[in-house]
Amino acid sequence: MMFDNLPRPSGRTESYAGTRRRSRVGKSAGEPSGRRSSSFERASRLPDEKRIPSDRNTMAWLWVLGILMAAVLCFSWFLQRQKGAPEVVYGDAPSVLLSACIDPVLAPLTTGVSACSAETLADFGARFSADRAKTNRDSQDIYATASTIADILREAAEDRERHLARLQGLGSSDARTKREDSVNMAKLSETERQHLQLAVDVSWQRNSGAYRNRVEELWGRLLRLERGRFQSLLPTQPHS
């Protein structure tokens, strides 16, 4: 027949058809249509079940941050509750009681005996310590500072009394002075007596200056702590 002599398709045509079939299979499997992935890319891909979601790490850090914030808030609330709210104290502030004793105790010896004795200042210190135990934490610093100032002034008052006793012993030899001291004082010349009196006065000036410096360091702190915290019980004068 006349169709028996038709040429058969070459092997190249069969190869091209096989390539097209493989291309269609690759597209149906989800490979990109632009290019075929290399063997290195296929080997570097992790299976889906081995991938760790990034959302899991984010949630873990959010939990840790939330716990830390809650701990900070609880600690702040605890400190605020321990401190307590500032309260108004009715009565005279400690500085009012102490201010009347500072200058008389630390005055020169020529002014004589101080109006505030060591016993009075010891009573002030005991009173401030008792008030400190009865108040809240916000007021305890006030009475602690005042008690320290009272102790310094009490120490200064005792030192002043000793210097006054020495000065009086140099000036006179009455019955209150020990007999052996009276004999020794009688042997001193007037110049020697004045020299010893001056030495006692200089000694007290040096000591009183040290006491005053210690008091002034705490006095400013006491006034700042007392500001707006005390209300006097004295009746107000009516307006005319």
Token output for 8: 């058969």
The answer on pLDDT for 192 being more than 70 is yes
Residue 125: CB partners within 8 Å, gap ≥ 6? 147, 150, 151, 154
- 122 pLDDT band (50/70/90 cuts)? very high
- 239 pLDDT band (50/70/90 cuts)? very low
Residue with tokens 């001193």: 188
Q: What is the pTM of this model?
A: 0.58
> What is the residue-averaged pLDDT of the chain?
75
Token output for 94: 């400690």
Distance CA 107, CA 101 (A): 10
